[in-house]
Amino acid sequence: MKVLSSWPRLLRLEPWWLVGALVAEALSFVCAMALLRLVLRTKNWFAVVTAGLAGNAVTNTLPGGDAVGASVQYRMLASTGIDTVQAASGLAVSTIIGVAALFSLPIFALPVIAGGTSINAGLVRAGVLGAVGFVLIVAFGVLLLTTDRPLKMAGDALDWLMSKVPRRHRDARELGTRLLRERDEVRADLGKNWWKAVLLVAGRIGLDYASLLAVLRATGTHPNPSLVLLAYAATTVVALLPLTPGGLGLVEASLSGLLVLAAVPSANAVVATLAFRLGSYWLPTIAGGLCYVLYRRRYGPLRQSVATSETSEH
């Protein structure tokens, strides 16, 4: 409630810093869409952007939004002609890369911790949590990319479930084999374009973090960037918990509190959090609704089920 009641204070922020924050956030979303386009191996910007922002809007507004948003994004992509397994694997790879990068953020603040800077114990724990999570997620990603059994088991389980569905598509059979083939293609593409993936995921998160620094400067605060990085990293981990749609309320409370631990004055932490969420949550949610309207004008309404189609290179 304290964060929401601070809306009028947005009018007193330094405008150029606020504009810079919004531009950085917009470029962050461009990087996210470019990364998704890379792992999907498609040239269809319209499909990727509209599906990505519409799925994000669903995630931000509906209970259980992560699952529902991913489902909407998958169906939108598949309706454009992108192969269903390709769409599913691309979304999964994009998610794993993004989450691994988020958990790696505290590592970049380690030099400050090692240098003896006074840091609140809560931020230190956030850094340790991020480092542990990074190791586990990378290990999980390596397991999926280098071994066949986990994907084969998942495919066999899905095959069994699909066999219980009346009038299922014949091409839903042997899903495990198709998942392995798609995994190998994604791995080969990322092997050739790994530097693009690294740059895009770094741009996605780095620009989002830069947006937070900019809104803090807009309040007149000159924070320690490394301490803010720890606060930002901890908040992004909290946002992954599916407790509220898009972390609404949870992120605001966590980020404002952690910014205070990072030596940001309480009043400035609250209004900076509100401005940051304006660019990272509210405006993209509105844009997602508009993207869904544009998508329907080009492709029509979503079908209840999407048959496997050939890979699109539009």
The 3 state secondary structure assigned to 204-265 is: HHHHHHHHHHHHHHHCCCCCCHHHHHHHHHHHHHHHCCCCCHHHCCHHHHHHHHHHHHCCCC
Q: Is the pLDDT of residue 248 over 60?
A: yes
Average pLDDT score over residue span 1-30: 80
CA 221, chain centre distance (Å): 27
Q: What is the pLDDT of residues 134-144, one digit of tens each?
A: 566 567 666 66
- In the three-class reduction of DSSP (H, G, I as helix; E, B as strand; rest coil), residue 83 is classed as coil
Q: Is the pLDDT of residue 314 over 60?
A: no
Percent of the chain with pLDDT over 70: 65
Q: Is the pLDDT of residue 1 over 80?
A: no
Question: Rounded to whole angstroms, what are the CA distances from 117 to 111, 114, 217, 248, 296?
Answer: 9, 8, 21, 32, 53
Q: What is the pLDDT of residues 214-237, one digit of tens each?
A: 999 999 988 888 888 888 888 887
Instruction: With beta carbons less than 8 A apart as the criterion, state whether 82 and 76 touch.
Output: no
Measured between alpha carbons, how far is 138 from 122 in angstroms, rounded to an integer? Answer: 24
Q: Where are the domains of the chain?
A: 12-299
Average pLDDT score over residue span 18-22: 94
Enter the tokens of residue 47.
Answer: 């499909």
